Structure 1
Amino acid sequence: MAVSTSAGSPPSVAASPGTAISLRGLSKHFGDVKAVDDVDLDIADGEFFSMLGPSGSGKTTVLRLIAGFEQVTAGTIELAGEDVTAKAPFDRDVNTVFQDYALFPHMSVLDNVAYGLRVRGIKKAARRAQAGEALDMVQLSHLGNRQPGQLSGGQRQRVALARSIVVRPKVLLLDEPLGALDLKLREQMQVELKQLQRNLGITFVFVTHDQEEALTLSDRVAVFSEGKIVQLGTPREIYEQPSSAYVASFVGTSNIFDSTTSSRLLGREGTHALRPEKITLHPSGSTITDAGVIRTEGVITESIYLGTGHRIHVRLHDGTGIVVLEQSTGGKTDDQRGDEVLATWSVDDLVPLT
């Protein structure tokens, strides 16, 4: 799949076969603000694709441009090879699931799900049968006669999903659909959403500011900043090989060593990232002689119990602060503030940053 994020990319680059969405030179300006700035992107048929970034990074605006809710300032949008840049939302084979569900409160759950089929002129018996099948997919067939107000947040979100998939769009756009749910329910819905996407084979485009959610769900992730894609790759590539200090810091937690610290501490030029789970702490004075291992002494300034592990803050003897993530084990005594420790990590775990 062809993809480019550079400002000089020509908009005439052809999309690859099997491409569900192709964006070329896509820009959206609101006055002097460049909400989306010359984005080129291909999303494959049947892909679970996430757009990840903080508020104001441009990810939601790209979603709205694909849906047709906003008009482009420049560039083109193709869906399955068809240029839809100037087409109205109802002329695009996409559906959108919003965070606020947007269900009709006066309709039953079944009628809410069947509404899109009704608009398309499907006869009553057929649309109710298809709506029932969609409710089966989200495990809510037993609640078809209820009103939305009688459902929990998670159930309403499932209804919104069923309403969107019942018309079998080529692309389903999801605008932070799990943001209003509590943590436990959100984690459960993540699993169900991924299974649903696999079963349907529909292209899902998911917008989120939650990096864990993006890594959990996605085949690929585009990380946005200031209207541009700053890195595009699989979840593993984004996490293990961040391209910049911005990505390393935004996607998970990283220890960032600037050029001065890298030279002093690592004996290397340039800026580097090191994930907290790659660091091992030993009692001060331990003898570690493994080749390719960096060793440095420090003192624990904070130890935070997380249930599954500890997040430990260490001040190294040169003044550098690092964060270490240790998994909980039955035989290890908890590290305490003030403990002298030896911190070690493999040189192979250092990621050079641009």
Structure 2
Amino acid sequence: MTDQPAIRLTGLTKEFGSVTAVDHVDLEIAAGEFFSMLGPSGSGKTTVLRLIAGFEQPTSGTIELFGQDVTAKAPFDRDVNTVFQDYALFPHMSVLDNVAYGLRVRGMKRAQRRDRAMKALASVRLEQYADRRPAQLSGGQRQRVALARATVVQPKALLLDEPLGALDLKLREQMQVELKQIQRELGITFIFVTHDQEEALTLSDRIAVFNAGGIEQLGTPRDLYERPASRFVADFVGTSNVFDHERSQTILGRAGEHSVRPEKLTLSRTPQEGEGIHSAPGTVVESIYVGSGIRSVVDLDAGVRVTVLEPNVRGRVDDDERGNRVIVNWHDGDVISLYPPAGGG
């Protein structure tokens, strides 16, 4: 990576009539970084991607690509390329011709563009399918063709707009691994838009969590999951048990608002002991077998419903059945502070 960011957004704002889709976003994305923009529908993430690509013009603010102001430039004058969810391949062209199309538009000679296109197909392990039509490929293969077509022109940044959203779960998981490998091999800056928090955690070097047109939190996957800065992030990135100010004081003995991840809680018949360990009694209202683990929903006597996720380990005989009395245990170090107490720092 270089010191100069691949993308710099300064005060970026986009309004559609009375609706502010993007609200004064400041962001730097490093060269060679796999960067994800994560958020629910309407949070502004896709609009930011379209502004970077040049498909939309900002109401105010600037967009820089490797130090060059491209705010007013047309999409074809920006050294970026975009991969869409629907792939947008030409059905009448062979896979090879689809990949070589961008080179052809740029006036590259036939032999040279064929050589470049074959190398691009090899990078996604599809060179043996060069003569096929897109309709003869699986969804995952078509997605890799779209990646090859986008990268063959060697853009400085690749923009990916929920490219795995149309794939089934197994294929999506496979493509996540391949996408990360391709990005590492090419060394191109990837900017990835998704509403799937697990996908973002799996792929990204850093993630920007979008909410209401702005960035709620920016950090590594571990930062966002282990140290969410707000209730929104705690709820959106993974599953979290959130305790409001009153319940935090009553159950956790802390002022402010807090959360504890389900996998940080354990169930037992009697309170666990040890430094920093705390317990609260409750009743199991649901127990769900999820293969790799058991997800239990427990109503604490203190008036809070929590979710507990425990691994499906050897020696475990029975799930905690509905109606059973249990003790929920947690460690001080696993309690996340979402907001400082009123009047605090």
Runs of 4+ deviating beyond 2 Å: none
Aligned to 1:331: 315
Counting only pairs closer than 5 Å after superposition, residues 1-354 of structure 1 correspond to structure 2 as 17-283=3-269, 286-333=270-317, 334-354=319-339
What displacement does 1:289 show?
Answer: 2.4
AA in 2 matched with 1:345: W
Q: Percent identical across equivalent pairs?
A: 67
Distance, in Å, in 2 between the alignment partners of 1:299 and 1:207 is 40
Count of residues in correspondence between the two structures:
338
AA in 1 matched with 2:275: A
Distance, in Å, in 2 between the alignment partners of 1:317 and 1:41 is 45
| CA offset digits 1:136-175 (Å, max 9, x no partner) | 0111111111111111111110100000000110000000
Scaled by the length of structure 1, the TM-score of the pair is: 0.94
Scaled by the length of structure 2, the TM-score of the pair is: 0.97
AA in 2 matched with 1:218: S
Unaligned runs of 5+ in 2: 340-345
AA in 1 matched with 2:214: K
CA RMSD for the aligned pairs? Answer: 1.0
Distance, in Å, in 2 between the alignment partners of 1:295 and 1:287 is 6
Unaligned runs of 5+ in 1: 2-15
Aligned to 2:343: none
What displacement does 1:294 show?
Answer: 1.2
SS in 1 for 2:144: helix
SS in 1 for 2:200: helix
What displacement does 1:287 show?
Answer: 4.4
Distance, in Å, in 2 between the alignment partners of 1:61 and 1:27 is 10
Q: Work out whether residues 271 and 327 of structure 2, in 8 Å CA contact, stay in contact via their aligned partners in 1.
A: no
What displacement does 1:288 show?
Answer: 2.3
| CA offset digits 1:78-104 (Å, max 9, x no partner) | 000000000000000000000000001
Distance, in Å, in 2 between the alignment partners of 1:287 and 1:138 is 53
Distance, in Å, in 2 between the alignment partners of 1:133 and 1:233 is 34
